[in-house]
Amino acid sequence: MDNNNQPGNPQRRAFFRRSLPIIPVAAVAAAGGAATLATLDNSHLPMVPGPAVNTALRDAAQYRPSYFSAEEYRFLQSAVARLIPKDELGPGALEAGVPEFIDRQMDTPYAAGSNWYMQGPFQPDAAPEMGYQLRLSPREIYRLGIAAANQWCSQNLGKDFAELSAADQDKALSAMEHGVEGFDNLPSATFFAMLWGNTKEGFFSDPLHGGNKDMVGWKLIGFPGARADFMDWIERDEAYPQPPVSIHGQRG
């Protein structure tokens, strides 16, 4: 990872703001319009039960995780807060409810590995094009990965991850991304890749999945959300003037 794109670096947020608006718009255009957003396959994402808007906007401090232990959830909160930090551009992953999003994900078939091919033989050193090569489901990756991360931090930085300074947390995340010893049950880079991928999903997904509260991710990149029609703006070299709209009609 480039030094300017290290976990927690404010320039990472600026990168999101500059580059991400062109990605969803292009994808929507190729699919035939914004209305297709509501029909994409979201089977791997958690659904917020009850009234979606009210639940998705619930204060993160009141949420009680259903899968993660209190210690694991503290790690999750601390880690996502460094991966996408709150800054002058707006709320970060913690404020957007990403830990809640990831916890809700653990109750889906995706987290159990039900949507993956999970039969052997497993070849951890296989080429990337051979696909996923571990016998661990996402639930197991998080459980083992968080325990290994806290142990590594305690041994090398003197405290569990959540108790470290922001600078040391960034150092730990960078080390895990590039691969460190001490992760006996899975590569640290595999754990980091899942954590980073799920953090981005939670920050930019529709609020009905538990993250992106108040559509802060969409507001950051200027994404219109599930508006019925904004195709006439795609070719314009200017910001879309209307606030985003969620699948359930919530307006940002």
Q: Residue 151 corresponds to which tokens in the numbers above?
A: 């142990």
Q: What angle (nearest 5°) sits at the alpha carbon of residue 154, between those of residues 150 and 169?
A: 65
Q: Give the pLDDT confidence score for residue 235 in this predicted structure.
A: 75
> 124: burial class by Cβ within 10 Å (0-12, 13-18, 19+)?
exposed
Q: Where are the alpha helices (DSSP H) in the chain?
A: 10-19, 22-31, 52-56, 70-83, 98-105, 138-157, 166-178, 188-204, 216-221
Question: Mean pLDDT of all residues in the chain?
Answer: 77
**Does 240 reside within a domain?**
no
Q: Give the pLDDT confidence score for residue 197 in this predicted structure.
A: 94
**Does 161 reside within a domain?**
yes
pLDDT value at 36 more than 70: no
Provide long-range contacts, Cβ within 8 A and 24+ apart, for 224-229.
Answer: 224/34, 225/34, 225/37, 225/252, 226/34, 226/35, 226/37, 226/38, 227/34, 228/34, 228/35, 229/33, 229/34, 229/35
**Does 239 reside within a domain?**
no
**Does 70 reside within a domain?**
yes
**pLDDT one-digit tens code per residue, 155-213:** 999 999 999 999 999 999 999 999 998 898 899 999 999 999 999 999 998 888 888 88
Q: Give the pLDDT confidence score for residue 46 in this predicted structure.
A: 54
Q: Residue 180 corresponds to which tokens in the numbers above?
A: 């460190």
What is the domain range of residue 90? 3-117+132-233
Measure the CA dihedral 84/46/108/129, to 10°. -50
Determine the average pLDDT of the residues in 130-148: 89
Prediction pTM value: 0.74
**Does 247 reside within a domain?**
no
Tell me which of 43 and 212 has the higher pLDDT.
212
**Does 23 reside within a domain?**
yes
Q: Distances from the Cα of 26 to the Cαs of 22, 74, 237, in angstroms?
A: 6, 37, 14
What is the total count of domains within the chain?
Answer: 1
Determine the average pLDDT of the residues in 124-150: 87
Distance between CA atoms of residues 94 and 91, nearest Å: 8
Tell me how far apart the 2 most distant CA atoms of the chain are, in Å: 56
**Does 238 reside within a domain?**
no
pLDDT value at 51 more than 80: no
pLDDT band at residue 14 under the 50/70/90 scheme: low
**Does 157 reside within a domain?**
yes
Residue 88's Cα: distance from chain center in Å?
20
Q: Give the pLDDT confidence score for residue 153 in this predicted structure.
A: 97
Q: Give the pLDDT confidence score for residue 31 in this predicted structure.
A: 28
Tell me the torsion sign for CA atoms 209, 214, 220, 221. positive
Determine the average pLDDT of the residues in 114-134: 78
Percent of the chain scoring above 90 in pLDDT: 40
Determine the average pLDDT of the residues in 202-229: 85
Q: Which of 12-16, 18-22, 110-114, 227-231 has the lowest mean pLDDT?
A: 18-22
Q: Give the pLDDT confidence score for residue 43 in this predicted structure.
A: 47
